[in-house]
């Protein structure tokens, strides 16, 4: 409960809780001790009034001429004023039943800005919070997970595009790529991969940059295509993701995928400009495995065998079948 306001102007010595013979150092110490106490009470009209009263009393007693004038005019303290106790260094002017509790923040921002006005502290706290959130998002996009939009029909019908030739949907699929997985393991056949295209892709396909294709050939594999069917090391690759109407009828002579390179093909074989045209992709160009479609809502799905396995263990998804050679 806030103490009642006095009905008269209080003696500056009473305000600071010091005796009339207090030294300048004792007056200064008493002033700062009281300021710290009132600030722990929070910013209210009562504390603001008393902080102002402390400031006035301190300024008066710190001015030798004004203090001398006050002492000469007082002669004896007014009867309505309670005489202060003599000042004792280190003693608190407040009853021991109401100790001053100071909370020390472990937040480095709070500690660095504790001497600033409260509006400034709030503004700096918001700036640091927003900057931290942006930094976390950018770090996640750069090293963990990044979203991509499917711009063309080369992966139809596994991944939909919109508005272009061969596209089956009104909205393009948005997918998530795991950007760190290939730092811990090698790419696997059948995975959908985001990668940077070799320079030849721009010249041969009229487009370059970042592509999304399916990984078909691993380093050292002997790849070939006969009448639209892919063969790896002489055995036909089982590709359930290829729809009959999307299969081509091309034939390509066998070639060996070089060491450290990967052979990429689109699921829409009849409309895919891929490694058959511009060659294999270096390991360093692989960005990450596409593990999920997150947009539009009716297309939400998971492609990663490892993620499916984890979810399958808790009964959420069944494991997809592995690709088989026959």
How does pLDDT run across 124-138, given as a tens digit for each residue? 888 888 887 888 777
**Distance in angstroms (rounded) separating the CA atoms of residues 101 and 107:** 18
Burial 24-45 (b: 16+ CB within 10 A, else e): eebbebbbebbeebbeeeeeee
pLDDT value for 323: 43
Main-chain phi, psi angles of 225, to 5 degrees: -135, 130
Crossing angle, helix 24-40 and helix 45-62, to 10 degrees? 170
Contact 87, 27 (CB under 8 A): no
pLDDT of residue 155: 94
Residue carrying structure tokens 């060659």: 279
**Closest C-alpha among 288, 80, 65, 86 to residue 178:** 288
Using alpha carbons only, give the angle 225, 230, 236 rounded to the nearest 5 degrees.
120
pLDDT averaged over the chain?
A: 79
What's the confidence (pLDDT) of residue 268? 95
Q: pTM of whole model > 0.85?
A: no
The predicted structure's pLDDT at residue 251: 95
Instruction: Identify the pLDDT of residue 306.
Output: 55
The whole-number pLDDT of residue 9 equals 62
pLDDT score recorded for residue 75: 66
Q: What is the DSSP string of 31-86?
A: HHHHHHHHHHT-S-HHHHHHHHHHHHHHHHHHSHHHHHHHHHHHSS--TTSPPPPP
| Positions of the chain with pLDDT under 70 | 1-9, 41-48, 75-107, 109, 139-143, 304-326
Q: Which residue has the tokens 């992966």?
A: 155
pLDDT given for residue 311 in this prediction = 44
Q: How high is the pLDDT of residue 212?
A: 95
For 16, counting Cβ atoms within 10 Å of its Cβ (0-12 exposed, 13-18 middle, 19+ buried), the class is: buried
Q: What is the pLDDT of residue 315?
A: 47
Q: Tell me how far apart the alpha carbons of residues 241 and 314 are, in angstroms, rounded to a whole number.
A: 26
- Name the residue with tokens 């009470």: 41
Residue 325 pLDDT: 42
- Tell me the catalytic residues: 154, 213
Cβ distance 292 to 307 under 8 Å? Answer: yes
Task: Say what percent of the chain tops pLDDT 90.
Answer: 37
Per-residue model confidence as pLDDT tens digits over 209-250: 899 999 999 999 999 999 999 999 999 999 999 999 999 999
């Amino acid at each position: 409960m806030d103490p009642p306001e006095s009905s008269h102007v209080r003696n500056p010595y009473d305000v600071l809780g010091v005796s009339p013979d207090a030294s300048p150092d004792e007056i200064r110490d008493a002033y700062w001790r009281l300021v710290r106490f009132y600030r722990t009470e929070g910013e209210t009209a009562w504390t603001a009034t008393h902080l102002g009263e402390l400031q006035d009393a301190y300024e008066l007693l710190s001015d030798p001429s004004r203090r001398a004038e006050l002492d000469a005019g007082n002669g004896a303290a007014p009867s309505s004023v309670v005489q202060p106790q003599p000042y004792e260094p280190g003693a608190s002017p407040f009853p021991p039943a109401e100790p001053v509790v100071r909370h020390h923040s472990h937040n480095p921002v709070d500690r660095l800005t504790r001497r600033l006005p409260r509006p400034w502290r709030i503004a700096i706290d918001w700036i640091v919070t927003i900057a931290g959130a942006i930094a976390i998002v950018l770090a996640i996009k750069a090293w963990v997970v990044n979203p991509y939009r499917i711009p063309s029909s080369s992966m139809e019908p596994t991944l939909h595009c919109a508005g272009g030739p061969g596209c089956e949907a009104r909205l393009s699929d948005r997918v998530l790529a795991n950007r760190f997985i290939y730092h811990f393991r090698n790419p696997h056949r059948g995975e959908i991969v985001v990668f940077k295209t070799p320079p030849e892709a721009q010249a041969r396909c009229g487009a370059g940059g970042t592509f999304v294709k399916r990984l078909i050939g691993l380093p050292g594999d002997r790849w070939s295509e006969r009448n639209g069917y892919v063969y790896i090391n002489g055995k036909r690759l089982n590709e359930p993701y290829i729809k009959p109407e999307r299969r081509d009828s091309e034939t390509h002579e066998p070639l060996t995928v070089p060491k450290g390179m990967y052979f990429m093909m689109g699921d829409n074989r009849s409309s895919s400009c891929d490694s058959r045209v511009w060659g294999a992709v270096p390991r360093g160009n692989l960005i990450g495995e596409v593990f999920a479609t997150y947009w539009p809502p009716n297309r939400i799905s998971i492609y990663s065998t490892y993620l499916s396995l984890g979810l399958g263990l808790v009964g959420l998804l069944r494991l997809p079948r592995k690709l088989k050679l026959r």
